[in-house]
Amino acid sequence: MPKVLISDKLSPAAVEIFRNRGIDVDLKPGLSPADLRAIIGDYDGLAIRSATKVTKELLAAATGLKVVGRAGIGVDNVDIRSATARGVVVMNTPHGNTITTAEHAIAMMFALARQIPEASGSTKAGKWEKNRFMGVELTAKTLGLIGCGNIGSIVADRAVGLKMRVLAYDPYLSEKKALELGVEKADLDTVLARADFITLHTPLTDATRNILSREALAKTKKGVRIINCARGGLLDEAALADAIKSGHVAGAALDVFETEPATDSPLFGLENVVCTPHLGAATAEAQENVALQVAEQMSDFLLTGAVTNAINMASVSAEDAPRLKPYLELCRLLGAFAGQLTQAREGAISRVTIEYEGQAAALNHRPLTAAMLAGLMSPLMEGVNMVNAGVVARDHGIDVAETVHDRPTEYLTLVRVTVETAGLTRSVAGTLFAGSRPRIVEIKGIKVEADFAPHMLYVTNQDKPGFIGRFGATLAGAGINIATFHLGRAELGGDAICLVSVDEGVPEPVLEMVRTLPLVMQATGLAF
């Protein structure tokens, strides 16, 4: 039974989801980092909010951990690189609090436009400063979005409803999507120059850090108002404070800060600055939604292999998981076959080409390719799985290519992997027999049909009389029982392949005996 630890406060309904799905769950919020490290090795999954820090040190202690689920969108508190290196899936819940966060950005924009917090404080202090608080309308103003993904697009929809003109800077926003949203796609400089209000809706990455730098703020329209409900670090707080003091920026509303909890900031104490303590997702609905969502996602992954909203792995929906399962196994086995045949003397793998034909051509290829790479590299290095296979391949300079063939094939489905090294090029292809059983159908262009078995022996030899008798006698003399025997050849008298399944692994001394037989060119033991 999979076991999950919840280390931050989570809805009791989320705990019940785990239990109802047949998962053993422990709720232990508030553990110290040392206490968490001491027990994390017992768990398959870790469910968190923002308080738990999933560090490199914690992951090193999490020897059985398969998945980290973040109830919320931000994963700043998770060391994604270390999790990926250790093959741990990191999931978040980007849709559970999108409406709440978008509404907060709109609320902050209204509060800033009409100076509501300051007017409220003044009135409560017994003053009646009606002439002091002169606001501006949102109608007919230009809103500049930096980021137009899940949350940004909701803000755009609400702003269009408020009769605002909307400019959107987002490298991933298509012209078609912009048209659907009723926004104008623009580059960053255009947004800075034309917007009356600028609101940020982008993750914090190396590319977006300080996207509103001192230089960028200098390019903005005089009197602009800036809202950030996304991530601290997207703007230079000191530069923004200077721009407000100079009068170039009319005001700002911030829900997030570069350092949190934010007990000090150059923006504090300035008029026309609205600050809230990271309340973007702080509604009862959002907190419940993300908790339930992360529980369902983690349960699906641990029970069925479905991967939803993963940061570091291709998604596999709960509906697709059963259909993909036999294909994932086929790809893993084909990769493991090719990886075990790749010898160190042939040089490092430089390129891997994966071809999909027939029914396989219509599937989601990203997880299939990840399974293929994991199978391929596992015999050559430790700790490789579907999560980190792509990163490991890239780090080792392996070029990975996918090809989808829309052409007739003699098999309902066919997957072929070709591995290139400095020494040679080797390919192996397979299909699914009866729709679910992986089967080899081709090795190095030679037709060989064989089911995978836990222990196999692969031999290449010259196609001449006498080989089979000597080979069988050698195995019999060593007490090795042959379960199945499959042969294939390129042409009469040319290179041939012998692939046999045996009841147990073939010891290295027996392999050496096979290699010394006349006509044998290669003999490799395989394990699956």
The domain tally of the chain equals: 4
- Domain span at residue 508 reads 453-528
Cα(283)–Cα(97) distance, rounded to whole angstroms?
9
Say whether both 21 and 167 belong to one domain.
Answer: no
User: Does residue 311 fall inside a structural domain?
Assistant: no
Over its length of 528 residues, how does the chain's per-residue pLDDT go in tens digits? 899 999 999 989 999 999 999 999 999 999 999 999 999 999 999 999 989 999 999 999 999 999 999 998 888 899 998 998 888 999 999 888 889 999 999 999 999 999 999 999 999 999 999 889 999 999 999 999 999 988 999 999 999 999 999 999 998 888 889 999 999 999 999 999 999 999 999 988 888 999 999 999 999 999 999 999 999 999 999 999 999 999 999 999 999 999 999 999 999 989 999 999 999 988 888 889 999 999 999 999 999 888 888 888 887 877 778 888 899 999 999 999 999 988 756 778 899 999 999 999 989 888 999 999 999 988 877 778 888 888 888 878 899 999 998 877 788 899 999 999 887 899 999 999 887 899 999 999 899 999 999 999 999 988 888 889 999 999 999 999 999 999 988 777 678 899 999 998 899 999 999 999 999 998 999 999
CATH number for 467: 3.30.70.260
Residue with tokens 């027996």: 510
- Residue 146 dihedral angles phi and psi, to the nearest 5°: -105, 100
Say whether both 227 and 372 belong to one domain.
Answer: no
Establish whether 104 is a catalytic residue.
Answer: no
Say whether both 119 and 236 belong to one domain.
Answer: yes
Say whether both 396 and 411 belong to one domain.
Answer: yes
Say whether both 321 and 394 belong to one domain.
Answer: yes
Say whether both 83 and 102 belong to one domain.
Answer: no
User: Does residue 461 fall inside a structural domain?
Assistant: yes
Say whether both 134 and 199 belong to one domain.
Answer: yes
Residue among 16, 180, 215, 260 flagged as catalytic: 260
Indicate the residue among 391, 423, 450 that finishes a domain. 450
Say whether both 415 and 517 belong to one domain.
Answer: no
Say whether both 351 and 297 belong to one domain.
Answer: no
User: Does residue 309 fall inside a structural domain?
Assistant: no
Q: Which of 62, 56, 61, 52 is nearest to 10 (CA)?
A: 52
Contact 86, 388 (CB under 8 A): yes
Say whether both 262 and 405 belong to one domain.
Answer: no
Cα(238)–Cα(6) distance, rounded to whole angstroms?
38
- Residue 374 dihedral angles phi and psi, to the nearest 5°: -65, -45
What type of residue is 410?
Answer: E
- Residue 523 dihedral angles phi and psi, to the nearest 5°: -145, 125
Establish whether 260 is a catalytic residue.
Answer: yes
**pTM to 2 decimal places:** 0.63
Say whether both 495 and 387 belong to one domain.
Answer: no
User: Does residue 143 fall inside a structural domain?
Assistant: yes
Cα(473)–Cα(456) distance, rounded to whole angstroms?
17
Establish whether 345 is a catalytic residue.
Answer: no
Cα(271)–Cα(350) distance, rounded to whole angstroms?
60
Residue among 86, 225, 278, 365 flagged as catalytic: 278
CATH number for 157: 3.40.50.720
Residue among 70, 231, 365, 416 flagged as catalytic: 231
Say whether both 85 and 9 belong to one domain.
Answer: yes
User: Does residue 280 fall inside a structural domain?
Assistant: no
